[in-house]
Amino acid sequence: MRALSIEGAWVMEPRVFRDERGSFHEWFRAPELHEAAGYGLGLAQANCSVSARGTLRGVHFADVPPGQAKYVTCVRGAVLDVVVDLRTGSPTYRAWEAVPLDDREHRAVHLAEGLGHAFMALTDDATVVYLCSRGYAPAREHGVHPLDPDLAIGWPAGLTPVLSEKDAAAPTLAEAERTGLLPSFEACARWYAELRDRAAVDGAGVPPRVPATRR
């Protein structure tokens, strides 16, 4: 797990074993995630989306607490995955970081509760799967417009973004902040601390860390 520039976001860069049969890799390892974040994912839901080239999904986030942590990878094709710090008061508020995810290097991105998430499909049939710490709850899930010039996310040139009606109607970052829609860094920090305390009490049920093995 390699920490990104935004606190609460990491990229997992697995060792991929390849031979004449194909390949094998471990795309999620609970001990590494627990070591990085201080608490586990608490899996509640797993999602899969298939997108045509140019599809732009996000920027999505959820109210904190409880928020919704995500662990994201691309199992077919390629996407540009983006983490956005939407936590007001954060040292990196408004910052974003992009990570290419594809079916060759098999990277995965983990983002903590309160962070915004978006991606653009770079290929047809780009298939993204992600694990979520909480189930879908429409009343507490929100979005910020991914093409907001104040965010100035560096989406790939030469692709015409295709947005859902919901994402196209999402507020700008300034509008979301003005209406109190965004989570605060203080509230998120308190929630992370509570999750770490819970993990310390129950041991988090995380097995010891062991090296990746060929299958």
> Mind telling me the catalytic residues?
60, 130
CA 129-61-89 angle, 5° bins:
135
Nearest alpha-carbon partner for 81 in 65, 67, 66, 70: 70
Answer whether 32's CB lies under 8 Å from 81's CB.
no
Element (H, E) at 70: strand 70-76
Rg, the chain, Cα only:
17
| Beta-strand pair 70-76/126-132 | antiparallel
Where are the strands (E) in 85-200, listed by range? 96-102, 108-111, 116-121, 126-132, 141-143
